[in-house]
Amino acid sequence: MAFLDLDGLRCHVQRLDPRDGGPPAATAVLLHGLLTDSLASYYFTLAPTLAAAGVAVVMYDQRGHGRTGRPPTGYRLERFVDDLMGLLDRLEVAAPVHLLGNSFGGTVAFGLAARHPERVLSILAIESEPATLAWAGKLDGILRRAEAELAEESTLAWVAAQRGAHTARLARSAGRLLAGTSLARDIPASRLPTEAELRAIHCPVLAVYGTESDLADQAAWLDGLLPDCRSAFVPGQEHSVLVEAPDTVRELTLSWLREQGVELRGPVADPALVPWRGAR
């Protein structure tokens, strides 16, 4: 465990070196989602697989989440992108990296690629989308509703009964984050990249969706918007693809990195097992 100061933010960072002790075949930065998510989602799913394949892994708790500091304000998307840039600079990761973003983490990845394309080799976005006016409106509704509902003990009791004690603890922590910070108001007020800025994201992008997720309907739009983007669908899954279908995510990720020219040193997914576009 390590903590770095990012312009006054105490940031919790975890790094995994290639397990075989050899030089990294590439560097992957793993970005988690909002509210109930943290780097733990990757630590127990994807990160060990990448390290075993010879990839250097960087993962961190985003501001307000996990063990990273929780300032009362400063939660616009551009601050999250600044944090990512600051982290790469502090870790002296000068070469471009592969970004893997879950939900809001993918939005941060798109934000970095739009502002600093020279720092990004590829993006694998799981159940995610770039920041647009529609995205801001949707997040405004989701966050305001969550702020109100997670302040109610009856909601937390329902979560505990339906989803278990662990999920209830995450929900309670998310409620404290929303109650104690400006996150619910800052995210929708973020600076949004223009369509031209999004179209200028030229790195390869793989967008992964659950077939039962509302986000799957955006696949054709995103494939058409970005110059080098395609979609993959995970059958039977909704939004929680990373934690509900980790084996599939591992297969997708290894296959994707190999396609990007990364010389993986561990077992690589059989392409026949990867649900590329058309398997929805």
Domains annotated for the chain, with CATH where assigned, are 2-130+191-273 (3.40.50.1820), 132-189 (no CATH)
Global pTM reads 0.93
For residue 278, pLDDT beyond 80: no
Q: pLDDT-derived band of residue 93, with 50, 70 and 90 as boundaries?
A: very high
How confident is the model over 49-64, as pLDDT tens digits?
999 999 999 999 999 9
Q: Who contacts 44 (Cβ-Cβ below 8 Å, separation ≥6)?
A: none
Find residue 31's DSSP bridge partners.
Answer: 101
Q: Give the count of beta carbons closer than 10 Å to the beta carbon of residue 156.
A: 18
Reference 219, options 272, 277, 274, 260; nearest CA is 277
Six token digits for residue 207: 């967008």
For residue 192, pLDDT beyond 60: yes
Q: Mean pLDDT across the stretch 3-29?
A: 95
| ∠ CA 273-99-277, rounded to 5° | 35
Contact of 58 with 13, CB cutoff 8 Å: yes
**Residue 159, pLDDT score:** 85
For residue 1, pLDDT beyond 70: no
Q: pLDDT-derived band of residue 163, with 50, 70 and 90 as boundaries?
A: confident
**Residue 279, pLDDT score:** 42
Q: Name the least confident of 155-164, 227-236, 251-260, 262-271.
A: 262-271
